[in-house]
């Protein structure tokens, strides 16, 4: 069964390749049924979030009318990047299957620096109140 879904992901990767996008394809399956499929489209959409995994999770969430995809599995041609990995975890997908690891010699382009601002504010209480009210 895994081979069937991975072959669909490869077909999606071919679509990306044909559109001059990084050839990554992805499929989400629930109860042995394909819920969503897609590919990278960052260049076409001019959108940093245009990763195959993000596109497919968005489609599956709309179709299932929930962001909680805990009874779904995802098949992707390339091991998800850290952003997609985090989104997959946040969407609660139960299993991730991928074909290839990323190359270890890939040049890193990240130059963004993160700094916590130290100041007196009531944001921590606001956040605590929100989650306390949800429980």
Closest to 41 in 3D by CA, of 73, 5, 17, 75: 17
CA 58 – CA 69 distance, rounded (Å): 11
Active-site pick, 53, 73, 85, 108: 53
Minimal CA–CA distance to 6: which of 94, 84, 72, 78? 78
Catalytic site includes residue 53: yes
Q: Which two tokens stand for residue 105?
A: 């010699």
Q: Which of 33, 45, 42 is nearest to 8 (CA)?
A: 33
Q: What residues act catalytically? A: 53
């Amino acid at each position: 069964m895994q081979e069937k879904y991975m072959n669909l992901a490869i077909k999606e990767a071919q679509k990306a390749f044909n559109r001059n996008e990084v050839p990554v394809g992805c499929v989400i399956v629930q109860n042995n049924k394909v819920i969503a499929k897609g590919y990278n489209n960052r260049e076409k959409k001019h959108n940093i979030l245009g990763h195959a995994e993000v596109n497919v999770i968005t489609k599956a969430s709309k179709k299932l009318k929930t962001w909680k995809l805990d009874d779904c599995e995802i098949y992707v041609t390339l091991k998800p990047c850290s952003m997609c990995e985090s989104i997959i975890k946040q969407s609660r997908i139960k299993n991730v299957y991928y074909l290839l690891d990323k190359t270890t010699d890939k040049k890193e382009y990240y130059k963004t620096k993160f700094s916590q601002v130290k100041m007196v504010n009531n944001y921590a209480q606001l956040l605590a109140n929100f989650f306390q009210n949800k429980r």
